[in-house]
Structure 1
Amino acid sequence: MTTFVNPVLGGDRPDPAVIRVGDEYWLTYSSFESAPGLLLYRSPDLVNWIYAGSALAEPLGSTFAVDIAEVGGRFFIYIPFIPAPWSKLTEPSIFVVHAASMEGPWSEPIDLGIRGAIDPGHVVGEDGRRYLFVNGIRRTALTDDGLATVGELEQVYDGWRYPDDWITEAYALEGPKLFRRGEWFYLVSAVGGTAGPPTGHMVIVARSRSVHGPWENSPHNPVARTVDAAEKWWSRGHATMLPAVDGSWWMVSHGYENGYRTLGRQILLEPIAWTDDGWPVAGTDDIGGELEAPSAASHQPPSVGFHDGFDALRLGERWTFHAPSPGEAARLTLDDGLVMAGKGAGPGATSPLALVVGDHAYEVEVDVEIDRAEGGLLLFFNDRLFCGMGIDGERMRSYSGGHVTHWREPAPAAGRLQLRIRNDRHIVTGWYRVPGGEWMRHAIRYETSGYHANTMGDLVSLRPALYAAGEGSVRFRDFRYRPLI
């Protein structure tokens, strides 16, 4: 028997949307202000996932929870964009991209004209027509090609109400995902809020014989919920239920790991069982330990390190910009390393290149050479919260809590240094050296367990990042990532 442990895809990958295509599975998730956006992963077994591209080179806003659909051999991703400081949007707006296969190429985003809504969920009704559900839960019809709406949003489902004494963030009925099994349509959604208290977010189910309702709530709600803060996985929600190749049923959702909210919402897999009267229920009481994998699943490989010599530009596969302006990739060139043009006056304004990680402990290292700029290595949450170090040719700048610190580290006034950061279960230590010299430990250590969404009200994660600020440029060479036991 092959087993697996959660997460099946580590690091900050919230609001997963999953589709089965033949004998394999495809997944994407909310990419928010990262670019490229809507990173695509494929899997033969729901346990092991491999990067397979991106569906969105230039987001139009902050990219929230999507849905993937296949109709008539064509694939669709329905996308809510939220206004961002750099976008032209003035309110939440739902778009769609489409392709002949999940590999792409994907079309440019098409505006569906839906405003003030997020979390689209697609379904084909018993009448053969296409519909899009959104948070609330509201619904509109789509044209046969799925590229335009017919009519306005209408309220169709009011959700299931949990007891008032449960400790949640907010009711927040959202994330509708729909599927048909037998004579029933099932509506899977989330309530309770996506961050906040660990016992908040949960998965609920309703069903109807018609896509037009009425919707009957499951007597087994919620299907998934963190009952106690001692559990390994918190705030479980935004679920997709689907059948595996062997006929078993599975649920893919997200959750925060107990003690590691800094890693963001990670992707969870758990079995689904069916009652005799046709309701989906949790197939296990505890998803924090070893679980039996779908049949024919391969063993999960351990986390491994890598070396990026910047011989190629691995945007999406490895690196994404945080909060980029349109055309941000033009800042990058490959020339004896990765050359990044400067932007902004300091790390918070630079749209750094960030790396999603899922390890509790790791080291990152890079060679930094500046040219009329400031550049360095950070652990970056958002423009208001980061730590790390950079050089400007005159001094080393040390950052903590999103600010340059008063500490004047006695590093050499050099235009080129190698920098290393170790994040060992929230204890962050830095080192530096001139190329070929001895490593010198930075005098100050940081504790970063509070660098997470509930501190900053921003649903992202703490990531290693490279930044370049100022008028010139920074050349990065020999980036290394090493997980630590």
Structure 2
Amino acid sequence: MPKTSRRDALKSAGLGLGLLFGGSATTVQTAPVSARGVEGQRRADLGDGRFLNPIMAGDHPDPSILKDGADYYMTFSTFEAYPGLIIWHSKDLVNWQPVTAALTRNIGSVWAPELCRHKGRYYLYIPTKQTKTPGSRTTSWVIWADDIKGPWSEPVDLNLPDHIDPGHAIGEDGARWLFLSGGDRVRLSDDGLSTIGEVEHVYNPWRYPAEWDVESFSPEGPKVTRQGDYFYLILAVGGTAGPPTGHMVIAARSRSINGPWEQHPRNPLVHTASLDEKWWSRGHATLVEGPKGDWWGVYHGYENGFWTLGRQTLLAPVTWSADGWFDFGGGDLSQPIKKPLPGPATPHGLALSDDFTTDKYGRQWNFFNPSADETGRIRRENGILHLTARGEAPSSSPPLLCVAGDQAYEFECDIEIDPGTRAGLLLFYDSSLYCGLGFDAQTFITHQYGIERGRPANPYGQRMRLRVRNDRQIVSFHTSADGETWKRFDRGMEVSGYHHNVRGGFLMLRPGLYAAGEGEARFRNFTYRAL
């Protein structure tokens, strides 16, 4: 199958490229629109009764989705970004708005969570990997809330150091379980806040042919759905990154939560078979009933050629066959699909431009691997974000970051620094891999590959406006004294290798702000626009 670009797909859908790549659209339109929303950012809803994946652009991996009456809630792995586990809300599975960040205390690198509701209470089961942060652990935790908006409880350690990806399930007798990586499970107490007994092995996952190009077997992401006479167990195998053809979705079923489990006769149900496909490494799926009683699946994938955007959330139709099995539709998801719920496009996402007059900490802005007192570094006052300096460089000073899902974009900000402060704008993967431009009162500070590359003279002093342009992984920097007359900085970069298969960590390249040294930096008028 030939590779199809997003531009080509929208063109074939009858959408004018002038509208698509013209200015930003900040209001909801009822006529057919392009897949662009606030500030020109990418969105799924085409406005004509169809959508084009991804439904959540940028790094939104390991989606866990909950149908709660007529509402849908979804959250994702947030790794070392805190506040973490942002919960999103939708009515139609396509348009999503952030509700709250459920996890505020740094307990480690947050991997595939499970969001569920039981007897009126919401739960988040959270696997973590230990980091350098004191108090973090490799284990699984649980937090709970009586209202999805919070407040959410403090994390409770379930002491599961050998497994990841807990999936909540209720047996035919009402007992609660967590299904775990490797085909294992453990019993939960009735209140869901502790385990009972030992972990047990209950399922031997289906294996792909030995000649397939995969990363590893790695059975993970178990999700259990009860439908009709069966419990359906869905897993990912093949490794979540590595070769683009590795990750895949498999399934099994049983009449009892206790097994035995029968393999789906058409495994794998989702699998990137060719490097020419639009979406790579597709896997980690969950079934969900749609708003009209139909069925859908959410899973993640890497966009062909854009590992730097991380794993993005995809939505695919699911059909049930006469033999009681289900199948995923949509092919490689490069073409528009009929929406689960008809109607005009509704608000989706949030504007990344920030005048710092409202608090977007936790919804847009997160620290990378923060210490317990990191939140005390930020203060908003009269449209200014004050960020106290810490450390010597972005590697030792946790930056404030946000998720951008566009292939091409630019962001800019007014920055003023104290004597002894170094501050600037970044494209940040982790503390060992980032690039950007900063300055002190005398020099610019260039960052590349996670190291300082040079300190040319700074003619602006302690205040300037900086711009970073990431045009399909070609990065340039621009500087200005007044925000009107700009000068291109004499260093450019290519960043297509700033991703997991080079560095590890399952992250994405994120725009951000940093302040190092002594004193503080003051940020005004952060502006984001898709190109």
TM over 0.5: yes
Q: Which residue of 1 aligns with 2:87?
A: 40
Q: Which residue of 2 aligns with 1:161?
A: 207
Alignment map for 1:15-164 (pairs within 5 Å): 15-90=62-137, 92-164=138-210
Q: CA deviation at 1:470?
A: 1.0
1:204 aligns with 2:250: yes
Q: 1:308, 1:480 within 8 Å by CA — same for their partners in 2?
A: yes
Q: Which residue of 2 aligns with 1:361?
A: 408
Letter in 2 for 1:218: H
Letter in 2 for 1:181: Q
Q: CA deviation at 1:410?
A: 4.3
- Describe the shift of the 1:88–1:135 C-alpha distance in structure 2 as closer, same or farther (beyond 3 A): same
1:473 aligns with 2:473: no
Alignment map for 1:74-473 (pairs within 5 Å): 74-90=121-137, 92-296=138-342, 298-299=344-345, 306-336=352-382, 337-371=384-418, 372-406=420-454, 408-412=455-459, 414-435=461-482, 438-473=485-520
Q: CA deviation at 1:438?
A: 2.2
Q: Which residue of 1 aligns with 2:26?
A: none
Q: CA deviation at 1:172?
A: 0.4
Once residues 413 and 143 of structure 1 are traced to their aligned partners in structure 2, the CA distance between those partners, rounded to angstroms, is 62
Q: CA deviation at 1:333?
A: 1.0
User: In structure 1, the residue corresponding to 2:159 is in which secondary structure?
Assistant: strand
Q: 1:30, 1:64 within 8 Å by CA — same for their partners in 2?
A: yes
Which moves more between the two structures, 435-444 or 171-180? 435-444
Letter in 2 for 1:33: E
- Describe the shift of the 1:297–1:267 C-alpha distance in structure 2 as closer, same or farther (beyond 3 A): farther
Once residues 286 and 185 of structure 1 are traced to their aligned partners in structure 2, the CA distance between those partners, rounded to angstroms, is 27
Once residues 299 and 312 of structure 1 are traced to their aligned partners in structure 2, the CA distance between those partners, rounded to angstroms, is 25
Once residues 35 and 217 of structure 1 are traced to their aligned partners in structure 2, the CA distance between those partners, rounded to angstroms, is 39
Once residues 139 and 258 of structure 1 are traced to their aligned partners in structure 2, the CA distance between those partners, rounded to angstroms, is 35
Q: 1:75, 1:98 within 8 Å by CA — same for their partners in 2?
A: yes
Letter in 2 for 1:45: D
Q: 1:16, 1:30 within 8 Å by CA — same for their partners in 2?
A: yes
Letter in 2 for 1:74: R
Once residues 482 and 359 of structure 2 are traced to their aligned partners in structure 1, the CA distance between those partners, rounded to angstroms, is 24
Which moves more between the two structures, 459-468 or 51-60? 51-60
Q: CA deviation at 1:151?
A: 0.2
CA-to-aligned-CA distance 1:224-244 (integer Å, 9 cap, x gap): 110001100011111110111
Q: 1:303, 1:483 within 8 Å by CA — same for their partners in 2?
A: no
Backbone CA RMSD of aligned residues: 1.5
Q: 2:439, 2:458 within 8 Å by CA — same for their partners in 1?
A: no
Q: CA deviation at 1:471?
A: 2.1
Q: 1:15, 1:253 within 8 Å by CA — same for their partners in 2?
A: yes
Once residues 497 and 136 of structure 2 are traced to their aligned partners in structure 1, the CA distance between those partners, rounded to angstroms, is 32
User: In structure 1, the residue corresponding to 2:375 is in which secondary structure?
Assistant: helix
User: In structure 2, the residue corresponding to 1:318 is in which secondary structure?
Assistant: coil
- Describe the shift of the 1:358–1:437 C-alpha distance in structure 2 as closer, same or farther (beyond 3 A): closer
User: In structure 2, the residue corresponding to 1:265 is in which secondary structure?
Assistant: strand
User: In structure 2, the residue corresponding to 1:107 is in which secondary structure?
Assistant: coil
CA-to-aligned-CA distance 1:51-100 (integer Å, 9 cap, x gap): 1111111131111111112111111111112111013245x211111111
CA-to-aligned-CA distance 1:222-274 (integer Å, 9 cap, x gap): 11110001100011111110111211100001110001110100010000111
CA-to-aligned-CA distance 1:336-360 (integer Å, 9 cap, x gap): 4111111111111111001100011
Once residues 113 and 356 of structure 1 are traced to their aligned partners in structure 2, the CA distance between those partners, rounded to angstroms, is 31
Q: 2:106, 2:371 within 8 Å by CA — same for their partners in 1?
A: no
Once residues 305 and 439 of structure 1 are traced to their aligned partners in structure 2, the CA distance between those partners, rounded to angstroms, is 24
Q: 2:230, 2:254 within 8 Å by CA — same for their partners in 1?
A: yes
Once residues 145 and 236 of structure 1 are traced to their aligned partners in structure 2, the CA distance between those partners, rounded to angstroms, is 34
Q: 2:96, 2:349 within 8 Å by CA — same for their partners in 1?
A: no
Once residues 301 and 275 of structure 2 are traced to their aligned partners in structure 1, the CA distance between those partners, rounded to angstroms, is 13
Q: CA deviation at 1:3?
A: 0.6
Identity between Structure 1 and Structure 2 (%): 46
Q: 2:442, 2:458 within 8 Å by CA — same for their partners in 1?
A: no
Once residues 482 and 107 of structure 2 are traced to their aligned partners in structure 1, the CA distance between those partners, rounded to angstroms, is 41
Q: 2:272, 2:332 within 8 Å by CA — same for their partners in 1?
A: no
Q: 2:280, 2:302 within 8 Å by CA — same for their partners in 1?
A: yes
Q: CA deviation at 1:305?
A: 5.6
Q: 2:441, 2:458 within 8 Å by CA — same for their partners in 1?
A: no
Once residues 136 and 87 of structure 1 are traced to their aligned partners in structure 2, the CA distance between those partners, rounded to angstroms, is 28
User: In structure 1, the residue corresponding to 2:233 is in which secondary structure?
Assistant: strand
- Describe the shift of the 1:397–1:282 C-alpha distance in structure 2 as closer, same or farther (beyond 3 A): same
Which moves more between the two structures, 437-446 or 124-133? 437-446
Which moves more between the two structures, 228-237 or 430-439? 430-439
Q: 2:442, 2:457 within 8 Å by CA — same for their partners in 1?
A: no
Q: CA deviation at 1:413?
A: 5.2
Once residues 74 and 40 of structure 1 are traced to their aligned partners in structure 2, the CA distance between those partners, rounded to angstroms, is 15
Letter in 1 for 2:302: Y
Q: 1:409, 1:443 within 8 Å by CA — same for their partners in 2?
A: no
CA-to-aligned-CA distance 1:315-353 (integer Å, 9 cap, x gap): 122111111112211110123411111111111111100
User: In structure 1, the residue corresponding to 2:502 is in which secondary structure?
Assistant: helix
Give the unaligned 5+ runs of structure 1: none
